[in-house]
A and B are shown apart, each in its own frame.
Chain A
Amino acid sequence: MTFLIRQTLIYAVPLMIVALAGVFAERSGIINLALEGIMIFGAFVGVLFVRILQTAGWFDIAKEAENFLALQGYMLLTMLAAAAMGAVFSLLLSFAAVNLKADQTIGGTALNMLAPALVLFLIRILANQNTLQLLSGDAASWFMIKKTTLGFDKSADLGFFGETFLHKVYLSTYVCILVFVILSVLLYKTRFGLRLRSCGENPQAADSLGINVRRMRYAGVTISGALAGMGGFVYALTTANCSANGDVAGFGFLALAVMIFGNWKPLNVAGAALLFGLFKCIAASYSSIDINGDGVFLLANLGINVNFYRMLPYLITLIVLAFTSKNSRAPKAEGIPYDKSTR
């Protein structure tokens, strides 16, 4: 059970944060199909940033001094870097969508093609192979929080809660949850959030009340890009052992599904992300999931092909969409370029 919760969180958190990225863009009226591409870019920037810090020797110094706080600090710094570059990358989308009134779906598709191409081009030149790895060590040895990191003895029992949420976890998980809560409040309880949402529902009305629709849409997409870039690095850190290979296995698209499933509302999105995280977790490690701790691997014993579990999240998305499409309420003005003259 501990293992199941821990693993589910690892998959659910990047999904959740990237789905929130989608919410911010679409609530401002821009379809951000480029989430996948921005994630790929963010993952690459993050891993590259860690490598640069490693080359500078910061990591070894911190490790030698047993200064785990510094290592966690570097990780936060990396998340920030990935978010910043994700935001910069997303400017390509907002420029096309807002300034040039371009087709947002195609613009997003272009970024989805650009990111892996650019990233792989650079990785091949940097590393002479298709994967950019850390210079030394791995994600677990540098960033993972374990009992010993927190000053407990290796054999100490922290109880169910402690074992699940304090042992073998990443700080990034909790940072993401915190960011998710803060931004959800921002979207629903502040003036800025209300204005942003109004641009996705009725930009003409918003404009007539003196809200700068262009600026709001830029803000929405830029926040979206930052979140997706950060989510991309968190994905690379927690599930790909802090390596980048120009691929996030369709997580960005899955996040889009989570967003629609969650009806463009943060709380529902969080729930949907947990559900999808659970499915992803089952697909990745169904053979070693021991639900009630009696040593019986139930799912493995069912004898269902692993490919079925892998397919499940996508299949369920389609089925759920089929049943909920009547109630699904997309932001009214999303995807339509705002033209002042239509007011």
Chain B
Amino acid sequence: MRQTNSAPLWKRDGVRSVLASLLSILIGLVGGSLIILIVALTSKNLNLHSAWEAIRLVFLGLFSTGRDAAGGLTFGFNPTSVGNMLFRATPLILTGLSVAVAFKTGLFNIGAPGQYLAGTAATLFVALEIPTTVVPAWIVWILAFLAGMLAGAVWGSIPGMLKALLNINEVIACIMTNWIAANLVTWVFDISNLKNVVENTKSGYIYKTSFNGVQTPKLGLDKLFEGSQVNGGILVAILLAVVVYIILTRTTFGYELKACGANRHAARYAGIRDKRSIVLSMAIAGSLSGAAASLYYLSGNTEFFWSTYQSLPATGFNGIAVALLAVNNPIAVVFAGIFMSMLDIVGLQMTNLTAYNEYITDVIIAVIVYLAAFSLVIKSWLAGGHRAKPAHPAGGGADAPDPNAIPTDAPGEVPAAPGEAPAEGKEAREK
């Protein structure tokens, strides 16, 4: 797969991945703009001028500073928007990491929303139930964060175990555990005493963690980005991304995970315990999604709407988009997460300033995911050379629900040099 460094810059694998992702983003943004234009042209109430404003916001929403006295859009550095972007990026980076880690092991973790909910419940219970009059708030914070990660890990390992032991397709198991989590979390909060009854203006919410004096330290970031919700959580998220990167690229354990993803049968032949790898990969993925929820709700200014049995948190699904955009590279996930949250800000500005609404940004994200499904086609098209290969952008087995369907371990497929195992195994399977 990886080409030698003597190849021209634009033909290198990494460069092409970045270019393909940037192209996906561009197509996504243009697609969103086109929809705005079509809506404006077909609607009686909307004119072309409003469409032009909305399209400018699609591309520059982060730098929007509102409207001037004459009613025109103004642009400039907006510290509140940038800070809020970083705040919203925190959970997205982590759910993106979650999906990426599972992808590396050949698993499609569509269960991130459920793991996120499990993390939410555990975090909120620990953060609100341990009285800060007895235990120092920072200890409660750490306990709540760990509880969120643990709950997510447990929830993630359920589909992992079903996959490893009973060979149940992880996609369907994840979808089921998502909805079980949604109902279970609703149930748990329904019978809890954590429903916010103090602030009567809103009903159906759980107390903020700041109600118990527990919140993520701001670390001066709020001074840097005035008026925004940003806090130290973003640094924790970036730290976790680096840790995941090191585990995946610099440790034997990470190598085993990737080998399983590239070819489970070859990995087992080479003496790797594939079942253990699958369960652990899902547990790590789950813990990252749980951490996403922990950091989001421990910020102290976010509230959880507890009656969630009919909907799943979008943060979990958007993690899929983040991971795909980042081509499952943990460091790239940080940037992809920040980009996705920038789209969030774009949506907010759009709702506030124009007749259009924030859902257009979800359309853009969906278009990007759609393009990611055949990113290999785009990549080889960028290279200009060979014809499109069958696309397996997820780095392996996420495509087939039934692993038996994949032609299995013919001895000839097992590579002699262990250093090339994942790539070679995959190539052999595709041919």
Contacts and interface: CB of A to CB of B under 8 A. Distances in A.
A307 B35 contact: no
Nearest to B189: A307
A109 B372 CA distance: 11
Contact of A114 (B46, B168, B367): B367
A322 B362 CA distance: 35
A280 to B, nearest CB: 12
B370 A114 contact: yes
Interface stretch (B192-200, B256-264, B317-325): B317-325
Interface residues of A, number: 54
Nearest to B39: A125
B116 to A, nearest CB: 16
B366 A96 contact: no
Contacts of A318: 162, 173, 176-177, 180
B294 to A, nearest CB: 23
Interface string B388-415: 1011111000111110010000000000
Nearest to A312: B183
Secondary structure of the A contact surface, majority rule? helix
B405 A333 contact: yes
A9 to B, nearest CB: 22
Interface residues of B, number: 61
Nearest to B364: A117
A307 B357 contact: no
A125 B172 contact: no
Given A105-B171, A125-B357, A336 B399 contact: yes
Contacts of B311: 247
B315 to A, nearest CB: 13
B401 A334 contact: yes
Interface string A296-311: 0000000001011011
B374 A103 contact: yes
A103 B180 contact: no
A110 B357 contact: no
B400 A335 contact: yes
Interface stretch (A82-90, A167-175, A220-228, A250-258): A250-258
A105 B399 contact: yes
B366 A325 contact: no
B405 A106 contact: no
Contacts, number: 185
Interface string A79-117: 000000000000010001000111111110111111011
Contact of A257 (B46, B172, B367): B172
Given A124-B359, A325-B167, A336-B400, A113 B321 contact: yes
Contact of B401 (A100, A124, A315, A335): A335
B292 interface: no
B363 interface: yes
B169 to A, nearest CB: 8
Contacts of B399: 103-105, 335-336
Contact of A117 (B359, B391, B393, B431): B359
B377 interface: yes
Contacts of A332: 402, 405
A304 B314 CA distance: 30
Closest 5 pairs (CB-CB, A-B)? A117-B362, A307-B187, A114-B366, A110-B370, A102-B374
Interface of B: 35, 39, 43, 46, 108, 110, 162, 166-169, 171-173, 175-177, 179-180, 183-184, 186-187, 190-191, 309-311, 317, 320-321, 324, 355-357, 359-360, 362-363, 365-367, 369-370, 372-374, 377, 388, 390-394, 398-402, 405, 431
Interface of A: 31, 33, 92, 96, 100-107, 109-114, 116-118, 120-122, 124-125, 247, 249-250, 253, 256-257, 260, 305, 307-308, 310-311, 314-315, 317-318, 321-322, 325, 330, 332-337, 339, 342
27 contacts: A96-B373, A100-B373, A100-B377, A103-B393, A103-B394, A106-B369, A110-B370, A113-B321, A117-B359, A117-B362, A118-B35, A121-B362, A122-B39, A124-B357, A256-B172, A260-B172, A305-B191, A307-B184, A308-B187, A318-B173, A325-B166, A330-B401, A333-B405, A334-B400, A334-B401, A334-B402, A334-B405
Given A104-B399, A113-B369, A247-B310, 9 more contacts: A96-B370, A101-B377, A106-B393, A109-B110, A110-B370, A250-B310, A307-B190, A311-B183, A318-B173
